[in-house]
């Protein structure tokens, strides 16, 4: 009875989620700078004003069924999100997998989840199930498999660990007491960039070549005409940009990695 009332109310006022200000936060435009104000990421700035939608990655309201209300586009991510209403009246945003409809209930914390968007411990999930919003450490919420169109797969369970195949192809060991959600995430439609102004709306600044600058602005700058510069590709601070640093460190979690994503290609 409660869910019928909620769905009827929502159908009468389809823009209800625009009035839910407590599910949004203002987002500061840091323009590629870190917490000290230094520029650490180039060619970022401006863009249209956006609000951050508070996504429930932990799903702590267990054993309480929720009703699916609507898919919603989030400008901060390429995955769709879903507005749900729990039986106690609490509204929340979650990552939206495919297969949801207004006749389904979303469950969290139940044994052997099979419905889309169900959230449970890995030890309760069936082998071969597609999952997303995967935890790496118990209680910290989902950290992996959160992009649109992605899904992981539970391969097997052994002792205290589950073997998860990630979208990159690598296989990792995750503790069985960590949680995950079922289903494959939906990806929102991508509008083609038909003009330079659209990139500016998205917060991307124009990229200027280093050889086109003056020597004071870039190590590649200066010279007569289109000079090569006589040095390898570097950043404006003189740091090598190709192969200087490893883009990933596996020191801490090396013993949890069963198959590297480089070997999966």
pTM over 0.85? The answer is no
Whether 259 maps to a domain, the answer reads yes
pLDDT in tens, 199-245: 999 999 999 999 999 999 999 999 888 888 788 899 888 888 888 87
pLDDT in tens, 158-197: 999 999 999 999 999 999 999 999 999 999 988 899 999 9
Same domain, 22 and 109: yes
Which pLDDT score, from 0 to 100, does residue 1 have? 52
Tally of structural domains, the chain: 2
Whether 199 maps to a domain, the answer reads no
Between CA 252 and CA 257 the distance in angstroms is 10
H or E stretch covering 10:
helix 2-12
Whether 231 maps to a domain, the answer reads yes
CATH of the domain at 255: 4.10.950.10
Whether 200 maps to a domain, the answer reads no
Q: Which residues 6+ apart lie within 8 Å of 127 measured at CB?
A: 154, 155, 156, 157
Same domain, 224 and 155: no
Whether 101 maps to a domain, the answer reads yes
Higher pLDDT: 261 or 26? It is 26
Whether 7 maps to a domain, the answer reads yes
Full residue range of the structural domain in which residue 37 is found: 2-182
The two tokens of residue 64 are 């309480």
Q: Which residues 6+ apart lie within 8 Å of 30 measured at CB?
A: none
């Amino acid at each position: 009875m409660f869910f019928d009332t909620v769905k009827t109310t929502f159908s009468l006022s389809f823009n209800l989620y625009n009035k839910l200000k407590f599910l949004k936060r203002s987002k500061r435009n840091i323009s590629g700078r870190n917490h000290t104000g230094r520029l650490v990421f180039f060619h970022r700035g401006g863009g249209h004003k956006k609000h951050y939608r508070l996504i429930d990655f932990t799903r702590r309201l267990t054993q309480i069924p929720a009703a699916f209300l609507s898919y919603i586009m989030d400008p901060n991510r390429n995955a769709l999100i879903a507005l749900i209403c729990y039986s106690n009246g609490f509204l929340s945003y979650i990552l939206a997998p495919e297969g949801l409809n207004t006749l389904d209930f979303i469950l969290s914390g139940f044994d052997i989840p099979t419905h889309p968007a169900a959230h449970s411990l890995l030890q309760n999930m069936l082998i071969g199930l597609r999952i997303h919003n995967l935890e790496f450490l118990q209680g910290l919420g989902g950290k992996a498999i959160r992009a649109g169109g992605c899904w992981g797969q539970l391969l097997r369970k052994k002792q205290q660990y589950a073997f998860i195949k990630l979208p990159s192809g690598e296989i990792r060991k995750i503790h069985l007491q960590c949680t995950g959600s079922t289903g494959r995430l939906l990806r929102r439609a991508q509008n083609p960039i038909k003009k330079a102004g659209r990139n500016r709306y998205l917060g991307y600044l124009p990229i200027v070549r280093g050889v086109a600058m003056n020597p004071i602005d870039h190590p590649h700058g200066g010279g007569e005409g289109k000079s090569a510069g006589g040095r390898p590709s570097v950043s404006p601070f003189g740091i090598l940009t190709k192969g200087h640093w490893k883009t990933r460190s596996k020191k801490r979690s090396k013993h949890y990695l069963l198959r590297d994503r480089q070997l999966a290609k």
